[in-house]
Amino acid sequence: ANLAQACRAASQPEPPPPHIRERLPFLAMADTQQPLLPSSNPAEPNEPTSFTSSSSPNSFIRHVTPEERAVVNRCLNAVESKGEELQRKGMTKANFIFGVTNTLFIAWSIGAIPQHFWIVYLLEVSMLFPMRWRNQTRAVPLKQHFFWLDFCWIANFVLVISMVGMVFESLMVDEANRVSDEFRRWLFSAGWGIGCGPLLFATGLLGNSLLFHDLDNTAATLIHLCPSLVLYTMGWQHRLVHGAWPSIFMLEYFKAMDPWRDIFRNAATIYTVWLAVYTVWLLVHGMRLPSKGYDTIFHFNMRSSMGALFAKCLRTPKDKYKAMVATNDFPRSYALLYMCGHALGVYTTICCSLLLFMSKYIHFSICAFMTFMTIYNGASRYTFYIIKSYGIVLRKELGIPLNRRGSALVQWEVPGDEAATGVP
């Protein structure tokens, strides 16, 4: 009863004084159930809508003017345009169903069938990589074909080719002509250093998000998080994997691997080869790709907050940096600094992969933490989409600063007071 009484009281507020009422074009106070927008009766298309009530002494006549109607229509169009933009980015019912179902399937398989999780990874790759490639080739204004030259993508390609190659080798090659156990150990130890090092830690450092509707984000999370999960099953549950696939995975050497001689050295060797080739390619050819309509990971990062940090470190004036962002024309000193930072981060995280080799509990804990980070980032993004994004659109349409409420629309002077205040 108290709540109902409070609601009735709130629905019949005192009208503002006349000198304020004249300056409040957006304030409609009436205890009527009529809609704000006028009727679509073609007989009176330009007549303003009136709100009146004789049941309350506090009500007064309110007209919706054509100017106000135009503002409301602009706001509605802006909100609808934002919704269409989100749909173009993949926020559809079908994508959401696929994302939720796919996430539940991965979570179930890592616990229920760990000996077959490498097959789940290959299935995910076969679905998500073509979708990601399709979106990259259709990206505007710059196409993203060359994103796949980044180290994270190359490492996943090598992992996929290695596992598929082992499958074909077990089916088609005589046992006497198979790859030696020494090479298998070399390949596995290098994969451990990369998959449990730079790929895994990039999940948190790059802010990967678990967005059910966004296939691009799902693919990015896959290439960074799933290799470490595959290695977890093959390392700490190698007997289970070998028992299920004895002719494909011979993993008895896992406990005998030396952390520095096998894991760090082999992983660092593979990365150093990529680093040399990619740096030469970027300096010679990649720097000119935006002028031809193609983007690179380097240019993408230079247009972000990382580029602003580089400009500050290299003492580049803000106006000059903004011009470089607008034209995608960055000096080679930026590229060299970027590759040096990339190398420092990768070599450091390869060292961190040795911690995961020490204990399966450390391995599990870090994987769980990175998974939680993707969930947290995804929750933050969805909160922005649902709660804040439409408000930002309306503020932009109405010219309201982000740190102001709707009171920024109306200001008046109280008689006898020269200070201007806003509606609370």
Burial 355-394 (b: 16+ CB within 10 A, else e): ebbeeeeebeebbeebbebbeebbeebbeebeeebeeebb
| pLDDT at residue 360 greater than cutoff 90 | yes
Q: Report residue 164's pLDDT band, with 50, 70 and 90 as the boundaries.
A: very high
What pLDDT was estimated at residue 6?
Answer: 52
Q: What is the pLDDT of residues 120-136, one digit of tens each?
A: 999 999 999 999 999 99
- What is the pairing mode between strands 411-413 and 49-51? unpaired
Backbone angles phi, psi at 412, to 5 degrees: -150, 170
How much is the pTM? 0.78
Each residue's pLDDT tens digit, 183-240: 999 999 999 999 999 999 999 999 999 999 999 999 999 999 999 999 999 999 999 9
